[in-house]
Chain A
Amino acid sequence: MRAGAKLGLILLLMPLLLWLGLLIIVPHIDMFLVSIRERIGVGRYQISPANYLTFFTEPLYLVTFMRTALMSILTTAITLVIGFPVAFYIAKVAKGRLQSSLFLLCLVPFWVSELVRTFGWMILLRETGIFSSFLQWLGLVDGPVEMLYNDVAMIVGLVYTSMLFMVVPLVTTMESLDDSVIEAGYDLGGSNLSILREIVIPHAMPGIASGSIVVFMLSLGNYLTPTMLGGKDSLWFTELIYSQFIVRFNWELGAAFGFMLLILSSIIVWAMLKVTGQTLEKTMT
């Protein structure tokens, strides 16, 4: 039996190790090796930090990198602020049928490809779009208004795309908050605000952490929304990676960019976990 258990363990470990090894760990090591080499001739390379130096000395790259990080943090914050009251409503105010159908409605946009969602916003926001026509019909503006291709449109799209990943973990954590705890807060003379601050938010912290991490990751790594909704000045870091790999065929620099993005996302995720006092295992399950 012990031998059988050992055999079972080995058989079950194999797929895990193959998957993680061949598709996650080794490819990332290889990507790192490519990022620290420099082409010195046809098919000849040497190890050098040149790609990283390019990254740090070229203002366009560094500025785009910082901008992408800040905009993603902004997107995460906006998503949290918009989604929190709705999640509270679904978890604590709505009851029975209404509760489950509202929750289901929140999931619907997720069943649809991100491309379709972005396309929807393009139809709404563009010059010949719904909002522009509506404003003209109301008589508020004289001619067509272009609302697409700027940072606001891009953030609207990013928030929309990732809303679900904020609302669902928030609803799940807040559902476990007992009504009587909130009632006790009121009995003890708490105001709406103090109860929100002292009881609801601390209880929802695991949900806030996991929602924020996922939304941040999705925004940072997004390519579609900035490309389709953003303007000329809203260059996203993933677009730089794509152009180095596919358009310029400079894989060395592209791999260095990829690594910088990976480092940035790891640092920010780690910081979010520290600030909210969570661990990766707890937030992901």
Chain B
Amino acid sequence: MIPTIRQPLSLTLVYRAYVVLFFVYLALPLLVVSVFAFNDSLFPSLPWKGFTWNWFFGDQRPMIGVFNERPIMRALNNSAFIAVFVSALSVCVGTTNAFLFNRYNFPLRGLLYVLMLLPLVIPGIVLGISILVFSSTLANGLEDGMGWDIYALRPGLPLVILGQFSFITTIVTLVISARLQKFDRTLEEAALNLGAGPLTAVRTVTIPYLLPALVGGFGVAFLMSFENFNTTLMLVGSDAPLTIAMFDRLKEGSTPLLNAVSLLLMLGSSGLALLMILFQRKR
């Protein structure tokens, strides 16, 4: 099975063909989505009616391109807004969590660690409804008790941010912990010996060392937030992020406009991922 052991040629060829077939299977759906973004037709399907850029830049009905389609651009804006908040919040909490579990021994540490992992094994939709139920309990309680109507506790952007944050934090914590574990603590001690206070030592020695993981965590969180569907679906209000807006359109029937949005999404996220890899390499 491995190169150093000789196998019959037929077996090697069959194996290789299988792997090739697998990658064709991986690429096929993404490929057709991209190709049909340029089809000069109202439906993203055969027959091919010629090449056009109209689904990107078109400004006349029925072919209004992505960049001139207001609701889609607004949804994109919402997604970016949510993703920035979720990533920033989860990197902050992820960092404090990583330091906590890496540096301290305290009662119930094991239990808290398992609880910290829990959001990964709770289905996204259950996470969404539990937050929805709790926030509306809170909102109703405050309204009946105090007469306050708190808008942020009703479905909408703040709840979507909290919902996504609730499980993305676990992933970011794991990313940052992995790097913090490899840190050589004698470096920090050297800083302390040279007269730095504990906070200065962490700020000037440990944080720069962690930077690739912080950036990586931010990137992963950003992508996960941008793509999230299940949790968002339960918490969304009138400002729909892109995945929800596209889902609503897809239910009504699809036009190549959706292909164009999808292609832009693919380019955007692979661009971001490449940037992250390059950044990691440079370090």
In the complex the two chains form, is A119's CB within 8 Å of B258's CB?
yes
Nearest-neighbor residue (CB-CB) of B144 within chain A:
A43
Q: Does A38 contact B (CB under 8 A)?
A: no
In the complex the two chains form, is B45's CB within 8 Å of A128's CB?
yes
In the complex the two chains form, is A13's CB within 8 Å of B100's CB?
yes
| CB-CB under 8 A for A130 and B32, given A20-B115, A23-B165, A123-B45 | yes
In the complex the two chains form, is A93's CB within 8 Å of B1's CB?
yes
A102 to B16, CA, bound (A): 13
Residues of chain B with a CB closer than 8 A to A119's CB: 29, 33, 250, 254, 258-259, 262
Nearest-neighbor residue (CB-CB) of A196 within chain B:
B1
A: number of interface residues (CB 8 Å): 89
**Contact residues of A with B, CB < 8 Å?**
4-5, 8-9, 11-13, 15-16, 19-20, 23-28, 30-31, 34, 82, 85-86, 88-89, 92-93, 95, 102, 105-109, 111-117, 119-124, 126, 128-130, 133, 160, 163, 179, 182-183, 186, 192, 195-196, 200, 213-214, 217, 220-224, 228, 238, 241-242, 245-246, 251, 254-255, 258, 261-262, 265-266, 269, 280-281, 284-285
A179 to B3, CA, bound (A): 9
Residues of chain B with a CB closer than 8 A to A221's CB: 123-126, 230
> Distance (Å) between the CB of A241 and the closest chain B CB?
6
> Distance (Å) between the CB of B113 and the closest chain A CB?
7
Partner of A30, one of B26, B130, B226: B130
A31 to B273, CA, bound (A): 37
In the complex the two chains form, is A117's CB within 8 Å of B29's CB?
yes
In the complex the two chains form, is A16's CB within 8 Å of B133's CB?
no
> Distance (Å) between the CB of A27 and the closest chain B CB?
4
User: Interface digits, B160-179 against A, CB 8 Å rule (1 contact, 0 not)?
Assistant: 00110110010000100110
In the complex the two chains form, is A124's CB within 8 Å of B130's CB?
no
In the complex the two chains form, is A123's CB within 8 Å of B44's CB?
yes
Nearest-neighbor residue (CB-CB) of A108 within chain B:
B270
**Contact residues of B with A, CB < 8 Å?**
1-5, 7, 15, 18-19, 22-23, 25-26, 28-33, 36, 43-46, 92-93, 96-97, 99-100, 104, 106, 112-127, 129-135, 137, 162-163, 165-166, 169, 174, 177-178, 198, 223, 226-227, 229-230, 233-234, 242-243, 246-247, 250, 254, 258-259, 262, 265-266, 269-270, 272-273
Interface of B is mostly: helix
Q: Which of A30, A160, A163, A179 has the most CB of B within 10 A?
A: A30
Partner of B123, one of A133, A183, A265: A265
Nearest-neighbor residue (CB-CB) of B171 within chain A:
A284
| CB-CB under 8 A for A117 and B30, given A128-B46, A262-B122, A265-B121 | yes
Nearest-neighbor residue (CB-CB) of A85 within chain B:
B18
| CB-CB under 8 A for A27 and B125, given A123-B45, A182-B5, A284-B174 | no
Partner of B104, one of A9, A105, A179: A9
A200 to B26, CA, bound (A): 25
In the complex the two chains form, is A31's CB within 8 Å of B134's CB?
yes
Residues of chain A with a CB closer than 8 A to B32's CB: 120, 123-124, 130
A104 to B272, CA, bound (A): 14
For the A-B complex with A16-B96, A25-B115 known, give 17 more contacts whose Cβ atoms are closer than 8 Å.
A9-B100, A11-B96, A28-B130, A89-B15, A92-B1, A108-B270, A115-B262, A116-B265, A116-B266, A120-B28, A124-B32, A195-B1, A221-B125, A224-B247, A245-B129, A285-B174, A285-B178
| CB-CB under 8 A for A281 and B113, given A92-B2, A93-B2 | yes
In the complex the two chains form, is B233's CB within 8 Å of A223's CB?
yes
In the complex the two chains form, is A12's CB within 8 Å of B104's CB?
yes
Partner of A23, one of B28, B123, B131: B131
> Distance (Å) between the CB of B7 and the closest chain A CB?
8
Partner of B23, one of A12, A105, A112, A242: A105
Residues of chain B with a CB closer than 8 A to A89's CB: 15, 19
